[in-house]
Structure 1
Amino acid sequence: MPVSIAVALLLWGRVRGPKPFQALSRIVMLLFCQLTAVLMVFVMVNNANLIYGSWDDLLGTGNHVRAVPNVQAQTDGGPGNDAQRPKVVQQFKPVGDAKVPDDVRTTDLKGQVSGVDGEVLVWLPPQYDDPAYKDRTFPVVELLPGWPGSSKTWFGTLRVSEQLKPMMLSGQVAPFILVSPRTNLLGDNTDTGCADVPGKVNADTWLARDVPQMVLDNFRADPAADRWAVAGYSAGAHCAAKLALEHPDRYRAGVSLSGYNDPGTEDKSLTAKDPHLREVSNPLNILKSAKTPPRTALYVSGNRGDGLEAGEALKAAAKAPTTVTVQETAGAHSSDVWKPMVPGVFTWLTSVIPAAGH
């Protein structure tokens, strides 16, 4: 913006020609200064909160769906049940973003089952390279951003690894492997709702099968569903509750921070546009329609009017062995609320999920 103002000041008195042309030229200069000011504010806000991971995400020009195979016809099961497929050995590199800690790594994954391609960020706990843990496997938490959102946000804005590292070293929190996959998959700026939508996207399969299998193929992660959890905020919170309740054979726990049950409340949600998808993607409906109550633990937080009622509804519908912990919060729908919740959330996860095992 300072450059645009300097250019305008420099050229203001140098405009030649008829007076109408001079006036129009100066109006264009003013509009250019205003435009650059707006863009600068947007970039500052985006950089602070990592709302969009790239210009492609912002402009809706990045499509990460390579194919949409019929996943229902393929073998399903727990995180290790896709192990009969060829191993997906990945190369990992630094994220290359000053806001993300240096010990977070990223890889570009081509989903074998889902047909989705996207980056996946991984952080290993301090115990992972400790010789005392060389024969141990580790529990895993998948971290989902809101929409629009970036796979970097949990690490860059919520500072999850920086907050948890000292707590893991002191034994307050279990040494979890943290994984944050891309969830912004479609090039039309549409929220997938983390669902498998025939002919459109296999977002559920990407998150619940391809990403976990990649983690198992590359790290000492435990394949047992009891050692896996999924957490999210905002739209990612809806996804976390949905995935945890929908796949108790893959996740022991789900964390929903300021989420919602009914995807129909979101204008950009793909699942809101189809009555059937809207029905079956609602975590409350998933819980109520389960033939057997899932062995799933949920942690649901929110302010009144912003996730609290969704949590209370889930708690009222839950039957053993399903458990729902509801935490009322105060404050705006923002990272300022979710960031300080990280220690408490992972303390709760530690009470639900076993630590590193043999």
Structure 2
Amino acid sequence: MGLTSDKVLALAVLTAVGLFAGTVWLWPRLARRSVRAVAGRVGLLMGTQLALFASVGLAANQAFGFYAGWADLFGREKGMGVVVDHTPADGPLRVVDTRRVPGSASGDPAVSGRIHKVEIVGRTSRIATPAYVYLPPEYFQPGFRTRTFPASVVLTGYPGTAEALVDKLDYPQTAARLTGRGRMSPMVLVMMRPTVAPPRDTECVDIPDGPQTETFFAEDLPDAVEGHYRVGGRPGGWGIIGDSTGGYCALKLAMHHPAVYGAGAGLSAYYKAPIDATTGDLFHGDENLRDRADLRWCLENLPAPDTSLLVSSSRVGESNYRDTLKFIERVKATKRTRISSIILESGGHNFNTWRREIPATLEWTSERLSTPERAEEPPRS
């Protein structure tokens, strides 16, 4: 049973309840001063506390998606050892699994869409990472067989799991529902985490002598997806959405690469790359690289990018509220970059808050990307 399994959480809760009941039942028998009785009381108290902490920790991990599995929790990331072999005929994207959209009533992809698990290898960055690709029902319908679709990259926070975007934040289900109601155009979603060089948090920076993460997201990822699916088309065909660390990355990539990303949405984002134990030395003394990782510095010192940005925060519960208001004012002052916002009355830095913002974010993104156009080549997938 995995770390995020409901069975593991239920087992931990039942264990805690059972130990509590056992403590209440056995306490009178252990109310003596013998070594055995004292050891029994200590054991029951410690066992109950450990089971309680485990239950709370497992519930929090399920709610926020901190760790994907036991290896991830104990620092032995499963994805670190993946090797992808490519023959000359292979491309930079390979589909390794196919699954139905959670909650879909039909197994027909032309009715409910489809989710592909893929492996992507950057031609320039040489970064290899998994992702999930949501293909809307229209992608499989005869009336759209010669059309390309707008696409959006969707990023988690750090450390985050790509699965949480599907199973916890419900991006494919929400997109399908909004499209069915006519509130957004059919859109392909490329869902992944920004941690493409685990366990290091690269903050989507091209690190000197290290992972070239910005290059991966700005060049390799769109190229790989466009080479396999009928998507994108630049400029104007790609958006990028993220929460927390992924939100910072989304805003930065849209600002640095407006010719690629015509819209960038940062949910609960921050606006400057941190330096801490998870990031290590991102800039190696390169002041230009450090400045470019500060979005407020970019707005004040670089030409305003021709792109659309969306930021979100809460008046109560989010630590980025004041910084977000300042960022909005700085973007407005550029007169060129377009800015929108979602400001909740209250909401913490968590999945529940982001689920309240995702429908409006998808609609906003869809409105700012180019609509499907006729493809120049026959369908590829």
> TM-score normalised by the shorter chain: which range applies?
0.7 to 0.9
Q: Tell me, in whole angstroms, the C-alpha distance in 2 between the residues paired with 1:124 and 1:263.
A: 32
- Equivalent residue in structure 2 for 1:313, among 324, 327, 346: 327
Check if 1:135 corresponds to 2:146.
yes
Q: Report the counterpart of residue 169 of structure 1 in structure 2.
A: 180
Change (3 A) 1:171 1:155: same
Which residue, out of 331, 336, 352, partners 2:352? 336
The residue type equivalent to 1:59 in the other structure is F
Within 5 Å, give how 1:216-235 maps onto structure 2: 216-235=226-245
Distance verdict in 2 for CA 1:7–1:302, change over 3 Å: closer
Contact 1:230 1:244 survives alignment (8 Å): yes
- The farther-off stretch of 345-354 and 312-321 is 312-321
| CA distances 1:18-48 after superposition (whole Å, capped 9, x unpaired) | 9436634652443233223222222223223
- Asked if 2 retains the 8 angstrom alpha-carbon contact of 1:301 and 1:311, the reply is no
Matched with 1:56 is 71
Matches of 2:250 and 2:373, distance apart in 1: 24
Distance 1:99 1:201 in 2: 37
Q: TM-score, normalised by structure 2?
A: 0.76
Contact 2:184 2:363 in 1 (8 A): yes
CA distance in 2, matches of 1:253, 1:195: 19
Check whether the contact 1:142–1:230 (CA below 8 A) recurs between aligned residues: yes
CA contact (8 A) 1:230 1:253 kept: yes
User: 3-state DSSP class of the match of 1:347?
Assistant: helix
- 1:217-268 CA-to-partner distances (Å, cap 9, x unmatched) read 2211123131001111111111110111111221111001111112238774
Q: Note the C-alpha offset of 1:127.
A: 0.9
Counterpart of 1:357 in structure 2: which amino acid? E
Name the residue aligned to 1:30: 45
Q: Measure the CA separation in 2 of the matches of 1:273 and 1:95.
A: 40
The CA distance in 2 between the partners of 1:134 and 1:169, in whole Å, is 19
Supply the distance in 2 between the matched residues of 1:297 and 1:65 (Cα, whole angstroms).
35
How many pairs does the alignment contain? 338
CA distance in 2, matches of 1:118, 1:294: 29
Partners of 2:273 and 2:196 in 1: how far apart? 17
- Deviation per CA, 1:86-138: give whole Å up to 9, x if none: 62241231469979999433123333332333210110112111111000001
* Aligned counterpart, 1:115: 126
**Residues 1:147 and 2:137 are matched in the alignment:** no
Is 2:337 aligned against 1:293? no
Whether the aligned pair in 1 keeps the contact of 2:264 and 2:308 (CA below 8 Å) is yes
Task: Specify which of 275, 288, 295 is matched with residue 283 of structure 1.
Answer: 295
Q: Distance in 2 between matches of 1:340 and 1:254?
A: 18
Alignment match, 2:92: 88
Distance in 2, matches of 1:320 and 1:202, equals 31
Secondary structure of 2:131's counterpart equals: strand
Which residue of structure 2 aligns with residue 156 of structure 1? 167
| Aligned-residue offset at 1:270 | 4.3
SS in structure 1 at match of 2:139: coil
In structure 2, what is the Cα distance between the partners aligned to 1:66 and 1:202? 19
Unaligned runs of 5+ in 1: 68-84
Q: CA RMSD in A?
A: 3.5
Does the CA-based 8 Å contact 2:202-2:213 persist in structure 1? yes
Identity of aligned residues (%): 23
Q: Tell me what 1:325 maps to.
A: 340
Question: Secondary structure in 2 aligned to 1:92?
Answer: strand
Q: Please tell me whether the aligned partners of residues 233 and 257 of structure 1 are also in contact (alpha carbons under 8 angstroms).
A: yes
2: distance between equivalents of 1:294 and 1:273? 23
Q: Which of the numbers 363, 368, 374 marks the counterpart of 1:352?
A: 368
CA separation in 2, counterparts of 1:168 and 1:308?
A: 34
- Shift of the 311–155 alpha-carbon distance from structure 1 to 2, 3 Å rule, reads farther
Choose 272-281 or 144-153, whichever is displaced more. 272-281
Measure the CA separation in 1 of the matches of 2:66 and 2:135: 24
Structure possessing the higher relative contact order (Cα contacts under 8 Å, 6 or more residues apart): 1
